[in-house]
Structure 1
Amino acid sequence: MSGTYNVYLVLLSYLIAFMSAYSAFDLARRLSAAAARVRRLCLGLAGVILGIGIWAMHFVAILAYETSLSIHYDSLLMLLSVGFAVTASWAGLACASRPAPGLRRLLASGCIVFAGVVGMHFIGMAAMGMGGDRYHWLLLMLGAAIGLAGSFGALFVSFRSQPAGGRNSYLRRLLGAAMMGGAIAGLHYLSMEAMTFGSVGHLHQRFRHAGHQDEMLGIILANCIIFLLSIIVIRGYFLDRRYREGEAFRLAVLESALDGILLVDHQGGIMECNPVMGGMFGYPREELATLHLTDLLEVPAGGSGDGGLSTEAEGREGPSGFALPVEAIRGLLDSRVETTGWRADGTAFPVEISLTRTEGFGRPVFTVFVRDITDRRKAEEHIRQMALRDPLTGLYNRSYLQEKLSSALSRAEGSRGTIGVMFLDLDGFKSINDTFGHDSGDMLLQEVGERLLHCVREEDLVSRQGGDEFIVMLSGVTPGTASSFAVRMIEALARPFYYAGREMTVTPSIGIALYPSAGTSAHVLVKHADTAMYQAKLNGKNHFLFYTAEMEASLSQQTKLEARLKLALQQDEFRLHYAPVMSVQTGRLLGVEALLRWERDGVLIPAGQFIAGAEATGLLPGIGRWVLREACRQHRSWRNAGHPAVTMSVNISARELAEEDFVEGVGHALKETEMQAEWLQLEITEEIGRGRATRLCDRLKELKALGVRLSLDDFGAGAASLRFLQLAPVDELKLDGRLIAALGECPARQAMLEALISLAHGRGMQVIAEGVERSGQLEKLRELACDGAQGYWFGQPMAAGEFERLLSYERYHRKDSSQIS
Structure 2
Amino acid sequence: MAPSSSAPDWRGVADVLPQALWLIDAATLQVLYANAAAAELVGRRVEDMVGSSVHQLASAPQDRLFWEQEPADIAAGIRSCTSVWNARRSAQVPVERWVQALTRDAAPHDGGAAPLLVMSMQDITESETSARKLEALLAELRATLDCAVDGILSCDLQGNIRAFNHRLVQIWKLPNALLIRRDDAAIHAHMQAQVEDPRVFRQSMATLRHEPLLEFTQIFRLRSGSTVELRSMPQLVHGKPAGRVHVYRDISSETEAQAGLRLAAQVFESSLDAIFIADESDAIVRVNPGCQALLGHEHEMPQGSRVTALIDPGVPEKTYLAQVRQAWDVQGFWSGDVLLRRGTDELATPVALSWVPLRSEDGVVSQSVGFMRDLGPQHAAQRRIEELAFTDALTGLPNRLQLTHRVESAIDSARGRNVEFAVLFLDLDRFKIVNDSLGHPFGDRVLKLVAQRLQQCLRQSDMLCRVGGDEFVVYLHGADRKVAEAVARRVLEEMMLPFTLDEMGFSIQSSIGIALYPHDGITLDDLIKHADTAMYRVKERGRGSYGFYRPQMNANLLSRMKMEHAMRLALGVNHMAVHYQPQVELASGRVMGMEALLRWTDPQLGAVSPATFIPLAEECGYIVTLGAWVMEQAIVEASHWHASKTPMVVSVNVSALEFRQPGFVDRVASLLTRHGLPPRCLELELTESVLLQEAQEMAQLLGALAQLGVGLSIDDFGTGYSSLAYLKKLPIQRLKIDKSFVDGLPALERDQAIVQAIVSMGRALGIAVVAEGVETDAQRDALAAMGCDFYQGYLYAPALPVPRLRELVSQAGAGKARVSASATGPSS
**2-structure distance, mates of 1:666, 1:349:** 69
Find the counterpart in structure 2 of residue 405 from structure 1: 407
Give the CA deviation at 1:483: 1.1
Note closer, same or farther for the CA distance 1:712–1:546 as it changes in structure 2 (3 Å cut). same
1:649 aligned to 2:630?
no
Percentage of pairs with the same residue: 28
After TM superposition, the structure 1 = structure 2 runs for residues 65-464 of structure 1, keeping only pairs within 5 Å, are 253-265=267-279, 269-289=283-303, 293=307, 299=313, 314=319, 343-344=342-343, 345-347=345-347, 351=351, 354-359=354-359, 363=365, 365-372=367-374, 401-413=403-415, 418-424=420-426, 447=446, 450-451=449-450, 454-456=453-455, 457=458, 460-463=462-465
Note closer, same or farther for the CA distance 1:462–1:334 as it changes in structure 2 (3 Å cut). farther
Find the counterpart in structure 2 of residue 737 from structure 1: 738
Note closer, same or farther for the CA distance 1:772–1:327 as it changes in structure 2 (3 Å cut). same
Give the CA deviation at 1:261: 3.0
**2-structure distance, mates of 1:360, 1:272:** 19
1:487 aligned to 2:501?
no
1:592 aligned to 2:589?
no
Output the amino acid matched with 1:576. V
Find the counterpart in structure 2 of residue 611 from structure 1: 614
Find the counterpart in structure 1 of residue 124 from structure 2: none
Instruction: Kindly indicate whether the alpha-carbon contact (under 8 Å) linking 1:591 and 1:649 is maintained by their aligned counterparts in 2.
Output: no
Find the counterpart in structure 1 of residue 634 from structure 2: 631
Find the counterpart in structure 1 of residue 64 from structure 2: none
Note closer, same or farther for the CA distance 1:745–1:695 as it changes in structure 2 (3 Å cut). closer
Note closer, same or farther for the CA distance 1:363–1:377 as it changes in structure 2 (3 Å cut). same
After TM superposition, the structure 1 = structure 2 runs for residues 701-740 of structure 1, keeping only pairs within 5 Å, are 713-714=715-716, 717-718=719-720, 734=735, 737=738
**1-structure distance, mates of 2:284, 2:765:** 89
Find the counterpart in structure 1 of residue 548 from structure 2: 546
Instruction: Kindly indicate whether the alpha-carbon contact (under 8 Å) linking 1:635 and 1:648 is maintained by their aligned counterparts in 2.
Output: no
**1-structure distance, mates of 2:395, 2:661:** 24
Give the CA deviation at 1:607: 1.2
Output the amino acid matched with 1:256. S
Give the CA deviation at 1:546: 2.8
Instruction: Kindly indicate whether the alpha-carbon contact (under 8 Å) linking 1:262 and 1:367 is maintained by their aligned counterparts in 2.
Output: yes
Find the counterpart in structure 1 of residue 100 from structure 2: none
Q: Which is bigger in relative contact order (C-alpha 8 A, separation at least 6)?
A: 1
Instruction: Kindly indicate whether the alpha-carbon contact (under 8 Å) linking 1:273 and 1:285 is maintained by their aligned counterparts in 2.
Output: no
Find the counterpart in structure 1 of residue 234 from structure 2: none
**1-structure distance, mates of 2:424, 2:752:** 52
User: Is the partner of 2:514 in helix, strand or coil?
Assistant: strand
Output the amino acid matched with 1:454. R
Note closer, same or farther for the CA distance 1:556–1:413 as it changes in structure 2 (3 Å cut). same
User: Is the partner of 2:454 in helix, strand or coil?
Assistant: coil
Which structure dedicates a bigger proportion of its chain to helix?
1
TM-align CA RMSD:
5.9
1:476 aligned to 2:481?
no
Give the CA deviation at 1:666: 6.2
Single out whichever of 338-347 and 518-527 deviates more from structure 2.
338-347
Instruction: Kindly indicate whether the alpha-carbon contact (under 8 Å) linking 1:497 and 1:503 is maintained by their aligned counterparts in 2.
Output: yes
Give the CA deviation at 1:420: 1.8
Give the CA deviation at 1:649: 1.5
**2-structure distance, mates of 1:327, 1:720:** 92
Give the CA deviation at 1:594: 2.0
**1-structure distance, mates of 2:398, 2:674:** 46
Output the amino acid matched with 1:284. E
Note closer, same or farther for the CA distance 1:386–1:813 as it changes in structure 2 (3 Å cut). farther
Instruction: Kindly indicate whether the alpha-carbon contact (under 8 Å) linking 1:418 and 1:476 is maintained by their aligned counterparts in 2.
Output: yes
Note closer, same or farther for the CA distance 1:609–1:417 as it changes in structure 2 (3 Å cut). same
Instruction: Kindly indicate whether the alpha-carbon contact (under 8 Å) linking 2:715 and 2:738 is maintained by their aligned counterparts in 1.
Output: no
1:375-420: CA deviation from partner (whole Å, max 9, x where unpaired): 5666666677777677888876655644553344334548875432
Note closer, same or farther for the CA distance 1:716–1:527 as it changes in structure 2 (3 Å cut). same
Give the CA deviation at 1:598: 3.2
The number of equivalent residue pairs is 546
Note closer, same or farther for the CA distance 1:557–1:277 as it changes in structure 2 (3 Å cut). same
Note closer, same or farther for the CA distance 1:631–1:244 as it changes in structure 2 (3 Å cut). closer
Note closer, same or farther for the CA distance 1:536–1:271 as it changes in structure 2 (3 Å cut). same
Find the counterpart in structure 2 of residue 512 from structure 1: 514
In structure 1, stretches of 5+ residues that fail to align are 1-242, 302-310, 317-322, 816-821
Output the amino acid matched with 1:271. V
**2-structure distance, mates of 1:650, 1:394:** 48
Output the amino acid matched with 1:630. Q
Note closer, same or farther for the CA distance 1:594–1:247 as it changes in structure 2 (3 Å cut). closer
Output the amino acid matched with 1:419. F
User: Is the partner of 2:300 in helix, strand or coil?
Assistant: helix
**1-structure distance, mates of 2:781, 2:508:** 42
**1-structure distance, mates of 2:468, 2:753:** 48
Note closer, same or farther for the CA distance 1:486–1:292 as it changes in structure 2 (3 Å cut). farther
Output the amino acid matched with 1:347. L
Note closer, same or farther for the CA distance 1:732–1:513 as it changes in structure 2 (3 Å cut). same
Output the amino acid matched with 1:592. M
Output the amino acid matched with 2:412. S
Note closer, same or farther for the CA distance 1:365–1:685 as it changes in structure 2 (3 Å cut). farther
Note closer, same or farther for the CA distance 1:441–1:576 as it changes in structure 2 (3 Å cut). farther
1:635-686: CA deviation from partner (whole Å, max 9, x where unpaired): 34444554314243133242x4566787787688668867666644444434
**1-structure distance, mates of 2:813, 2:734:** 26
Output the amino acid matched with 1:314. T
Instruction: Kindly indicate whether the alpha-carbon contact (under 8 Å) linking 2:394 and 2:448 is maintained by their aligned counterparts in 1.
Output: no
1:300-332: CA deviation from partner (whole Å, max 9, x where unpaired): 89xxxxxxxxx975358xxxxxx9865688999
Output the amino acid matched with 1:273. V
Which structure dedicates a bigger proportion of its chain to strand?
2
Single out whichever of 634-643 and 374-383 deviates more from structure 2.
374-383
Output the amino acid matched with 1:474. L
After TM superposition, the structure 1 = structure 2 runs for residues 774-785 of structure 1, keeping only pairs within 5 Å, are 774=779, 778=783, 782=787
Find the counterpart in structure 2 of residue 529 from structure 1: 531
TM-score (norm: length of structure 1): 0.51
Instruction: Kindly indicate whether the alpha-carbon contact (under 8 Å) linking 2:598 and 2:630 is maintained by their aligned counterparts in 1.
Output: yes
Instruction: Kindly indicate whether the alpha-carbon contact (under 8 Å) linking 1:693 and 1:727 is maintained by their aligned counterparts in 2.
Output: no
Instruction: Kindly indicate whether the alpha-carbon contact (under 8 Å) linking 1:340 and 1:350 is maintained by their aligned counterparts in 2.
Output: yes
**2-structure distance, mates of 1:273, 1:382:** 32
After TM superposition, the structure 1 = structure 2 runs for residues 35-46 of structure 1, keeping only pairs within 5 Å, are none
**2-structure distance, mates of 1:341, 1:723:** 80
**1-structure distance, mates of 2:441, 2:814:** 57
**1-structure distance, mates of 2:693, 2:505:** 9
Instruction: Kindly indicate whether the alpha-carbon contact (under 8 Å) linking 2:728 and 2:765 is maintained by their aligned counterparts in 1.
Output: no
Give the CA deviation at 1:633: 3.8
Give the CA deviation at 1:359: 4.5
**2-structure distance, mates of 1:676, 1:331:** 89
Note closer, same or farther for the CA distance 1:525–1:660 as it changes in structure 2 (3 Å cut). farther
Instruction: Kindly indicate whether the alpha-carbon contact (under 8 Å) linking 2:631 and 2:652 is maintained by their aligned counterparts in 1.
Output: no
